[in-house]
């Protein structure tokens, strides 16, 4: 959770208000309007990863670092001052290993190599598989 110290200090109140807005059937129109005026904007960044994507948890950490450490970045300063940014660096263990082969994206089946794949500096397996056109 990233926000100004004032926003973080009101976190319990903000959560209660957001829960009420999530199911506004119990709220009067005036109460809903008040909550919308008084609650800070909240942004949920859900960093999940599929089995054929590189790690998005790295992107979550980079975003958190930038929002917390950025100097002279008006957008980061605005987000810290005015909003609550919720970052969930969820990671699918299958996705952390990187793409298996390029053929799957084109609808082709891989023919595995007899040697184990190596990992490049980018964290992806190298192209030691061949694809068949069947």
Helix (H) or strand (E) holding 1: none
pLDDT tens readout for residues 67-94 = 999 989 999 999 999 999 999 887 666 6
Q: Are 47 and 90 in contact (CB under 8 A)?
A: yes
Give yes or no: residues 110 and 128 share one domain. yes
Give yes or no: residues 90 and 114 share one domain. no
Give yes or no: residues 129 and 84 share one domain. no
Give yes or no: residues 10 and 30 share one domain. yes
- The mean pLDDT of 10-21, rounded to a whole number, is 93
Model pTM score: 0.59
Number of H helices, E strands in the chain: 6, 4
Give yes or no: residues 53 and 68 share one domain. yes
What mean pLDDT is reported for the chain? 76
Neighbouring C-beta atoms of residue 116, cutoff 10 Å: 8
Which domain does 129 fall in, by range?
100-134
């Amino acid at each position: 959770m990233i926000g100004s110290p004032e926003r973080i200090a009101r976190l319990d109140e903000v959560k209660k208000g957001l829960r009420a807005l999530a199911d506004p059937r119990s709220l009067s129109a005036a109460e809903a309007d008040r909550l919308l005026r008084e609650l800070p904007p909240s942004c949920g960044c859900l960093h999940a990863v599929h089995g054929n994507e590189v790690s998005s948890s790295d992107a979550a950490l980079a975003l958190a670092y930038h929002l917390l450490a950025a100097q002279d970045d008006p957008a980061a300063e605005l987000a810290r001052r005015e909003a609550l940014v919720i970052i969930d660096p969820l990671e699918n263990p299958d996705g952390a290993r990187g793409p298996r082969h390029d053929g799957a994206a084109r609808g082709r089946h891989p023919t595995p190599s007899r040697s184990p794949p190596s990992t490049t500096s980018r964290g992806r397996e190298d192209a030691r598989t061949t694809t068949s056109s069947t």
